[in-house]
């Protein structure tokens, strides 16, 4: 009987050792190194459909000190109430003048809400991901924040059906009446709107696969483009500016028409050859 008790004691010790070993398994996740905080703008800078800027504050878990010199990345996904999902264009992320605080810009395609859906934002820093759910308001006022154009080269037919990989054009900041300047941001949707590529000369698209060797952006307050035509200047990474627009009056809503030609093909509102009103995107702008 004593021998049996000793055997059970030995087995019990072995079991405890195995449990301890499992608890210290190398497969256990390593403790987080960084803490990421989402700092949305407020008031006029609060998250809304269209261009939205905000900040990320990243600190070290060990002592709470600012984490500098990092390259955080953002992935945004809209989970619609209909069951569909899509992404949205994300601009570059830069470290601000405050240590550990990073400036971010995204271009929201739609607002969130009970009848719309929920935005999921994943912030990844050196392999560590933190998830947030930004509340995004609808664009207010009569000005539209975005428009779309596409052509025959952007219509892709595959096993999953036909997809229309459009050029999304966003108003990139306020419009200046005194200088006649309109700033725009161009992004091309790919992979059924799950990926977006900022569009400038030299950009490489993946659906359809092509390199943009020629891109012409023009705008006018005249829908016939017979006068007041401004030619876009490419500032890289999808950012374009058009100066010299006339008939812009401060605090007065004006219609600006925008044309886009990529690699020799005119992009239109319906993907058909340019003819009449399909040949341009329309922006209603109220300049400063």
- Segment 255-269, tens digit of pLDDT: 999 999 999 999 999
Q: Is the pLDDT of residue 10 over 70?
A: no
Task: Look at residue 6 and tell me whether its pLDDT is greater than 50.
Answer: no
Tell me the two tokens of residue 278.
């399909």
Question: Average pLDDT for residues 257-285, to the nearest whole number?
Answer: 97
Note the pLDDT of residue 32: 87
Total-model pTM: 0.87
Verify cis geometry, omega within 30 degrees of 0, for the bond prior to 208: yes
- Inform me whether the pLDDT recorded for 2 exceeds 60: no
pLDDT tops 50 at residue 12: no
What would the mean pLDDT of 207-228 be, rounded to a whole number?
Answer: 93
Q: Which helix (DSSP H) or strand (DSSP E) does residue 80 occupy?
A: strand 73-80
pLDDT confidence of residue 176: 82
Q: What are residue 31's phi and psi, to 5 degrees?
A: -60, 145
Specify which residues 36 forms β-bridges with.
58
What digits encode the pLDDT tens for the residues 67-94? 999 999 999 999 999 999 999 999 989 9
Range from 22-31, 75-84, 130-139 carrying the lowest mean pLDDT: 22-31
Mean pLDDT for 216-224 is 96
User: What's the pLDDT score for residue 165?
Assistant: 94
pLDDT of residue 28: 62
Report long-range pairs for 213-218 (Cβ below 8 Å, ≥24 apart): 213/263, 214/261, 214/262, 214/263, 214/264, 215/260, 215/261, 215/262, 215/263, 216/259, 216/260, 216/261, 217/184, 217/186, 217/242, 217/258, 217/259, 217/260, 218/242, 218/258, 218/259
**What was the pLDDT predicted at 15?**
46
Q: Residue 129: what pLDDT? A: 97
Share of the chain above pLDDT 90, in %: 76
Tokens of 269: 């509102």
Q: In whole angstroms, give the CA distance from residue 236 to residue 215.
A: 12
């569009």: which residue's tokens? 199
Domains of the chain: 34-132 (2.60.40.10), 146-285 (2.60.40)
Q: Which of 53, 149, 143 is nearest to 107 (CA)?
A: 53
pLDDT, tens digit (0-9, with 9 covering 90-100), for 156-184: 887 777 889 999 999 998 788 888 899 99
The neighbour count for residue 204, using CB atoms within 10 Å, is 9
Is the Cα torsion angle 34, 38, 39, 45 positive or negative in sign? positive
Residue 157 has what pLDDT?
Answer: 83
Residue 115 exposed, middle or buried by CB count within 10 Å (0-12, 13-18, 19+): exposed
Residue with the bigger pLDDT between 26 and 188: it is 188
CA-to-CA dists, residue 79 to 114, 115, 119, 147, 237, angstroms:
11, 11, 6, 22, 27
Split at pLDDT 50, 70, 90, the class of 27 is low
What six digits make up the tokens of 16?
């405890």
Q: Give kind and range of the element (H or E) at residue 23.
A: helix 2-23
**Average pLDDT for residues 242-254, to the nearest whole number?**
92
Q: What is the pLDDT of residues 42-70, one digit of tens each?
A: 998 999 999 999 999 999 999 999 999 99
């Amino acid at each position: 009987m004593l021998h049996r008790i000793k055997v059970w004691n030995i087995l019990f010790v072995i079991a405890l050792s195995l449990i301890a070993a499992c608890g210290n398994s190398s497969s256990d996740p390593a403790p987080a190194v960084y803490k990421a905080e989402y700092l949305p703008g407020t008031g006029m800078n609060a998250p809304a459909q269209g261009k939205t800027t905000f900040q990320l504050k990243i600190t070290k878990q060990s002592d709470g000190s600012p984490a500098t010199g990092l390259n955080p990345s953002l992935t945004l996904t809209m989970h619609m109430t209909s069951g569909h999902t899509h992404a949205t264009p994300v601009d570059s992320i830069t470290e601000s003048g405050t240590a550990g605080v990073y400036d971010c810009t995204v271009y929201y395609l739609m607002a969130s809400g009970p009848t719309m859906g929920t935005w999921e934002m994943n912030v990844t820093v050196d392999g560590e991901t933190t998830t947030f759910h930004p509340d995004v308001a609808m664009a207010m006022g009569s000005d539209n924040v975005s428009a779309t154009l596409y052509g025959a080269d952007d219509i892709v037919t595959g096993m999953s059906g036909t997809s229309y990989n459009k050029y999304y054009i966003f108003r990139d900041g306020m419009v200046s009446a005194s200088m006649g300047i309109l700033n725009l941001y161009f992004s091309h949707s790919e992979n059924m709107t799950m990926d977006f590529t900022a569009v400038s000369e030299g950009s490489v698209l993946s659906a359809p696969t092509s390199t943009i060797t020629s891109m012409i952006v023009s705008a006018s307050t005249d829908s016939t483009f017979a006068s007041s035509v401004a030619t876009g200047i490419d500032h890289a990474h999808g950012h374009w500016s058009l100066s010299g627009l006339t008939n812009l009056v401060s605090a007065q809503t004006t219609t600006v028409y925008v044309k886009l030609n990529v690699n020799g093909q005119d992009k239109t509102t319906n993907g058909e050859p340019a003819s009449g009103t399909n040949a341009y995107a329309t922006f209603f702008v109220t300049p400063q």
